[in-house]
Amino acid sequence: MLLALRVAARFATRPIPLDKGAIRQLADRLAKQVATWAARQPPDLLLGPDHHMLDWSWEAQVVKGEKMHIHGFFISEPTKSPNLVIGAAAFKPDPFDFEVEGEAAIRIRLNGSKPFKDFLDGEHEGTNGLRYQINNVLVHELSHIAEFRFLQRKDVHRFEDSEEGKKEYYNSPTEVRAYMQQIVDEIMPKARSFKKFVKPVSTHDFVMKLLHTSPRWKQVQPYLKPHSEALILKGVYHELDAAGLV
Ligand SMILES: [Zn+2]
């Protein structure tokens, strides 16, 4: 209990120290798996709706030093979104559902309105690429899993598509921490060169300008209450400080 409290206190103002290298490797593997599958389909045919396909499993250290078994799979869903990956969810498998095993499960949703050829390896690179988008949702969902595991939390917040629903979702403590994680992940790789390039007038100016390059920050920020926004800023400052950039 004491440990759980200590861990909780430590996690409150900074991102959970996820093993980002291992997560990137998993994202690479999954992008290849999807590409191999897509290559076997008629290139111009749309993915369409599908349930539970392309299973994968991952035995890894989500948080350094702790091994766990995660089961994952993909589904596809037609949508107007321009992205290849339209969302993901982490959950604890139902012990009576034999299709999903492992200590935790992740469902990744692919855009069913895109043709199979869009999912081929190397088709889109950078932030439009499958690899990047899978990595991005994995970071979010794995931070939930790490939190469930270490803090024994069970409250998964579902996204509701109303203004009130969004406000509640984005300000729930577990979502604040998961988005903090994704935002940090989006800004850190470019932080150093960005600082040289924009020549900020102050630390605050640097952090705010840097944040505006994060798609996740732009998505979440309009809904944040001051307390949640302050928590994310603390997490961002912590990471920039650890990298010697503020
Ligand atoms: Zn979430």
User: For residue 127, how many other CB atoms are within 10 A of its CB?
Assistant: 11
**Number of domains composing the chain:** 2
* Pairing of β 104-111 and β 67-77: parallel
Residue 159 pLDDT > 60, yes or no?
no
Record the pTM: 0.77
The mean-pLDDT minimum among 28-37, 69-78, 142-151 falls in: 142-151
| Interval between CA 143 and ligand 1 midpoint (Å) | 8
| Interval between CA 158 and ligand 1 midpoint (Å) | 8
| Interval between CA 199 and ligand 1 midpoint (Å) | 34
Rounded to an integer, what distance in angstroms lies between the CA atom of residue 109 and that of residue 87?
5
| Interval between CA 58 and ligand 1 midpoint (Å) | 20
Edge-to-edge order in the sheet of strand 85-91: 50-61, 67-77, 104-111, 85-91
| Interval between CA 221 and ligand 1 midpoint (Å) | 15
Q: How confident is the model at residue 14 (pLDDT cuts 50, 70, 90)?
A: low
| Interval between CA 91 and ligand 1 midpoint (Å) | 10
| Interval between CA 231 and ligand 1 midpoint (Å) | 16
In a domain, 156, yes or no: no
* Whether residue 50 is found in the same domain as residue 106: yes
Q: How confident is the model at residue 59 (pLDDT cuts 50, 70, 90)?
A: confident
* Whether residue 18 is found in the same domain as residue 90: yes
* Whether residue 10 is found in the same domain as residue 107: yes
In a domain, 47, yes or no: yes
For residues 37 and 156, the answer to whether their CB atoms sit within 8 Å is: no
Q: Give the residue from 151, 174, 196 where a domain finishes.
A: 151
Task: Tell me which residue range forms the domain holding 123.
Answer: 2-151
In a domain, 175, yes or no: yes
pLDDT at 1: 38
Residue 80 pLDDT > 80, yes or no?
yes
Question: What are the tens digits of pLDDT across the range 3-12?
Answer: 444 444 444 5
More confident residue, 160 or 162: 162
* Whether residue 54 is found in the same domain as residue 96: yes
In a domain, 182, yes or no: yes
| Interval between CA 44 and ligand 1 midpoint (Å) | 33
Rounded to an integer, what distance in angstroms lies between the CA atom of residue 12 and that of residue 151?
11
* Whether residue 125 is found in the same domain as residue 173: no
| Interval between CA 41 and ligand 1 midpoint (Å) | 32
* Pairing of β 50-61 and β 85-91: unpaired
* Whether residue 110 is found in the same domain as residue 197: no
* Whether residue 180 is found in the same domain as residue 123: no
* Whether residue 116 is found in the same domain as residue 196: no
| Interval between CA 176 and ligand 1 midpoint (Å) | 8
* Whether residue 100 is found in the same domain as residue 178: no
pLDDT at 154: 52
| Interval between CA 42 and ligand 1 midpoint (Å) | 34
* Whether residue 85 is found in the same domain as residue 124: yes
* Whether residue 140 is found in the same domain as residue 211: no
Q: Give the residue from 89, 122, 151 where a domain finishes.
A: 151
R_g over Cα of the chain: 18
Q: Give the residue from 113, 129, 151 where a domain finishes.
A: 151
In a domain, 157, yes or no: no
Residue 152 pLDDT > 60, yes or no?
no
In a domain, 158, yes or no: no
* Whether residue 142 is found in the same domain as residue 219: no
Residue 200 pLDDT > 90, yes or no?
no
Backbone angles phi, psi at 48, to 5 degrees: 70, -175
Residues around ion ligand 1, judged by CB within 5 A, are 175, 178
| Interval between CA 70 and ligand 1 midpoint (Å) | 17
| Interval between CA 90 and ligand 1 midpoint (Å) | 8
